[in-house]
Amino acid sequence: MVRLSVNVNKIATLRNARGGNMPNLVEVVRDIEAFGAQGITIHPRPDERHIRYQDARDLKKVVQTELNIEGNPVPKFIDLVLEVVPDQVTLVPDAPNAITSNAGWDTLAHRDFLREVIGRFSSKGIRTSIFVDPAPGMVRAAKETGTDRVELYTESYASGFREDPENSVAAYVEAAMVAKEAGLGLNAGHDLNLENISFFRERIPGLLEVSIGHALICESLYLGLENVVNMYKHKLR
């Protein structure tokens, strides 16, 4: 079964909108795990517009499955990860003003930087993953950084799914095969939803984990959070 890690950024966005503690992020995370999710993902950005750095510290104490912290490895982020020591860190090259992640790493151009950062995380026993586009060259070069996994950026798959599912997934199948040949674990995320997740899981060899947040929370407004978590788990079997 492919593991489901629920990104709870949108829960924090809703909380921050009123300046209080409703919804309570810690309690929601506990509920999501009780509903069956196999991991929790957070993405603390420098402006803390949704997940705050303190949230990472608080969630480390309560997450019982796997805590995945993703973000751009600027010094403040690196210090946080080394302090919290999550189960996994996912490195994403998003600009400070980006609304959401919109590209994978150029693992050739940034190989030395990524190798140095990954070495620091690995020394703490933290599993590492690099956010990459579905490009064989970028996946192969990721191996040179010492990372444990790559996470395929699935926006182009999601945007082309309705019009031509087979064509939209083709590059991801190739990238997954390259990751397998390189001995890299494989994660995926961005714009995956209840409509397109089954097809993706069926076509992608060696897929270990998906991280889903925005769509899952939106779908939960209509279908309920517990129900949606279990719908994803059913589709990922």
Which positions are catalytic? Answer: 43, 70, 190
Alpha carbon distance 103, 148 (integer Å) = 20
Measured from the Cβ of residue 131, the count of other Cβ atoms closer than 10 Å reads 26
Alpha carbon distance 147, 149 (integer Å) = 6
CA dist 146 → 27, 66, 67, 143, 220 (Å): 35, 21, 21, 6, 37
Question: Which structure tokens are listed for 89?
Answer: 């860190």
> Which class for 122: exposed (0-12), middle (13-18), buried (19 or more C-beta within 10 A)?
middle
Nearest to 171 by CA among 93, 159, 92: 159
Alpha carbon distance 230, 34 (integer Å) = 11
